[in-house]
């Protein structure tokens, strides 16, 4: 009997490869040296998700490093998915951080391009973009499977030393709503060819467009080559719904959701209800292997959403 050999052995990998429906959430590290805030968010999410994304200076705003926060979160009993962007670090720095993160016990990494620094709080900074997200995926995969650095050297400390490679479960992002639409599936394929084991999508509101995208994904058999987690973000208020629709590049919010929030006596409860309905629909779509709940500064709602969607009791 051949036993399945895990690539990383992470909890997320075990759930996804065991055919389970994975639930992940997002945990943005604080904008200050505040351990209590990290602890509070972990307590909220711990029993409700399989793993949690730790963002890497998201929207180009300085925060606690994703690896440092990831280690703290791991120690508090929740599995981290470390986000790594190409904006702030070159290939040397990223590989060094992958080695370090692995030694700290981190086993999942999500490879991203990164928001442009003009979006954030240091718009005069110099960006790096030495490599892009697809090259990053391939680099982390080659470190794991070929046991080599990007330059081709084996991952060992000296000629006679043993090879000790970092073994990560590799994720990537996909945005079914950005343009050009026809290119979105090609780009997903490029990420899978580069070595992505799982995909988390940008938050979905336009379910029709997402279904259309999934049809294309299935027609190319991509859902069989990698696990796709559908992203959702509960709408907290009418203001947020409009902001997501008008201001966030690559996100579309259909008017019927805006109207529901606008007419609701309790917009927050309506936002949760919409999110739950979406998850229930997403579970039915062939090729969706899990959901990624990005409750932006609203982590306390994750347990309720997970419960109401019937994902956990």
Partner 1 sequence: MIVAEQKPIEEIKNYLTGHKRILVLGCGTCVTVCLAGGEKEVATLASLLRLSGNFEIEENTIERQCDAEFFGDIKDQAASCDAILSMACGVGVQMTARTFPEKPVYPALNTMFCGTNDGAGQWSENCLACGDCKLGIFGGVCPLTRCSKSLLNGPCGGSVDGRCEVDPENIECGWQLIYDRLKTLGRLDVLDENAPPRDWSRTHDGGPRKLSREDVAGL
User: Would you tell me which residues interact with partner 1 (CB under 8 A)?
Assistant: 86-87, 91, 113-116, 118-119, 127, 129-135, 138-139, 150, 173, 175, 178-180, 183, 186-187, 189-190, 193-194, 202, 249-250
Rg (CA), the chain: 19
Nearer to partner 1, 13 or 56 (CB): 56
Nearer to partner 1, 182 or 313 (CB): 182
> Cβ of residue 131: shortest distance to partner 1, in angstroms?
5
Spatial distance between the Cα atoms of 70 and 60, rounded to a whole number of angstroms: 18
Nearer to partner 1, 9 or 254 (CB): 254
Q: How many other CB atoms sit within 10 Å of the CB of residue 16?
A: 23
What's the gap between Cα 167 and its chain centre?
18
> Cβ of residue 81: shortest distance to partner 1, in angstroms?
18
> Cβ of residue 285: shortest distance to partner 1, in angstroms?
21
Residue pair 60/121 in contact (Cβ under 8 Å)? The answer is yes
Spatial distance between the Cα atoms of 268 and 150, rounded to a whole number of angstroms: 47
Phi, psi of 256 (to 5 degrees): -65, -30
Residue-wise burial string across 116-145, b where 16 or more C-beta atoms lie within 10 A, e elsewhere: ebeebeeeeeeebeebebbebbbbbbbbbe
Spatial distance between the Cα atoms of 42 and 262, rounded to a whole number of angstroms: 32
Long-range contacts of 1-6 (CB under 8 A, 24+ apart): none
> Cβ of residue 3: shortest distance to partner 1, in angstroms?
31
Nearer to partner 1, 69 or 109 (CB): 109
> Cβ of residue 218: shortest distance to partner 1, in angstroms?
18
> Cβ of residue 40: shortest distance to partner 1, in angstroms?
30
Residue pair 130/185 in contact (Cβ under 8 Å)? The answer is no
Residue pair 113/140 in contact (Cβ under 8 Å)? The answer is no
Nearer to partner 1, 107 or 292 (CB): 292
Nearer to partner 1, 106 or 194 (CB): 194
Residue-wise burial string across 28-45, b where 16 or more C-beta atoms lie within 10 A, e elsewhere: bbeeeeeeebbeebbebb
> Cβ of residue 118: shortest distance to partner 1, in angstroms?
5
Nearer to partner 1, 116 or 260 (CB): 116
């Amino acid at each position: 009997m051949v036993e399945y050999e895990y690539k990383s052995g992470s909890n997320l990998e075990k759930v996804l490869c065991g055919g389970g429906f994975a639930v992940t959430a997002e945990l943005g590290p604080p904008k200050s040296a505040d351990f209590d805030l990290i602890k509070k968010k972990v307590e909220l999410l711990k029993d409700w998700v399989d793993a949690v994304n730790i963002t890497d200076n998201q929207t180009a705003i300085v925060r606690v490093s994703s690896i440092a926060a990831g280690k703290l979160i791991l120690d508090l009993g929740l599995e981290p998915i470390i986000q790594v962007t190409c904006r702030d670090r070159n290939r040397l720095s990223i590989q060094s951080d992958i080695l370090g993160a692995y030694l700290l016990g981190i086993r999942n990494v999500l490879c991203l391009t990164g928001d442009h620094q003009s979006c954030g709080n240091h718009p005069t900074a110099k960006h790096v973009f030495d490599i892009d997200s697809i090259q990053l995926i391939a680099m982390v995969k080659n470190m794991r499977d070929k046991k080599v650095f990007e330059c081709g050297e084996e991952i060992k400390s000296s000629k006679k030393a043993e090879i000790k490679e970092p073994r990560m479960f590799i994720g990537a992002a996909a945005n079914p709503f950005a343009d050009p639409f026809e290119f979105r599936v090609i780009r997903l394929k490029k990420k899978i060819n580069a070595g992505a084991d799982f995909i988390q999508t940008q938050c979905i509101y336009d379910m029709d467009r997402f279904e259309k995208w999934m049809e294309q994904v299935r027609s190319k058999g991509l859902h069989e080559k990698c696990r796709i987690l559908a992203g959702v973000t509960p709408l907290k208020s009418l203001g947020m719904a409009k902001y997501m629709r008008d201001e966030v590049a690559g996100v579309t919010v259909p008017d019927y959701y805006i109207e529901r929030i606008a007419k609701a006596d309790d917009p927050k409860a309506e936002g949760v209800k919409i999110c739950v309905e979406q998850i229930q629909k997403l579970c039915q779509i062939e090729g969706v292997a899990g959901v990624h709940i990005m409750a932006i500064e609203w982590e306390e709602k994750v347990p309720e959403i997970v419960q109401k969607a019937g994902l956990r009791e």
